Amino acid sequence: MTESTDSHPEIPLDPDAVVPAEGARPVPLHTQPLLVFLVAAGGALGTAARFGVSLALPTTTGRWPLGTFLVNMVGSFVLGALIEGLARRGPDSGRRRQARLLLGTGFCGALTTFSTLAVESDLLVRSHNSGLALAYAAVSLAGGLVLTTLGVAAAAGPSRLRMRRTVP
């Protein structure tokens, strides 16, 4: 068996892998120290930002969890804009990949928190606020979708303007 032979063809190769040379096995991104560092650094910044928001807007029993809601909405918008903006500038490689891992996977991944949304929804139910819990979960999910879409549209806007100017 050579190095370029797939020892497990029944398992798909990692689509996020880097192929170093023609015919060589892909190198998974999670084994590259710089890329791991970028995700960790972005995660540390996103976690710090979320913690800061939780201190400024603490969750109160029986009330709408405003801090978590805001970080999830902001994170949805930023992630939509980031991914669309990077995709419009070229393939996911080099600095674009590094930006995606630092800001998207790291920062936005740590800033947003589906698990806290779930826990806070459960706490609302336990404090006999089932209607508020349902509204919080529904508005969070719908709002995240809407804000991601708005982020994509915001990032696509400048590209659409450039295209209109260049097309007669």
Report CA-CA distances (Å) from 60 to 3, 16, 67: 57, 41, 10
Q: Where are the domains of the chain?
A: 34-57+67-157
Two structure tokens written together for 129: 């606020």
Residues 6+ apart with CB under 8 A from 58: 67
Which of 123, 118, 125 lies closest to 141, judged by CA? Answer: 118
- Name the pTM for this structure: 0.78
What does residue 152 show for φ and ψ, rounded to 5 degrees? -60, -45
Q: Are 102 and 42 in contact (CB under 8 A)?
A: yes
Please report, rounded to a whole number, the percentage of residues in the chain having pLDDT higher than 90: 71
pLDDT digits (tens, 9 = 90+) for 121-144: 999 999 999 999 999 999 999 999
pLDDT digits (tens, 9 = 90+) for 67-106: 999 999 999 999 999 999 999 998 888 999 999 999 999 9
Q: What is the pLDDT of residue 3?
A: 46
Please report, rounded to a whole number, the percentage of residues in the chain having pLDDT higher than 70: 80
Give the whole-angstrom CA distance, residue 156 versus residue 81.
Answer: 8
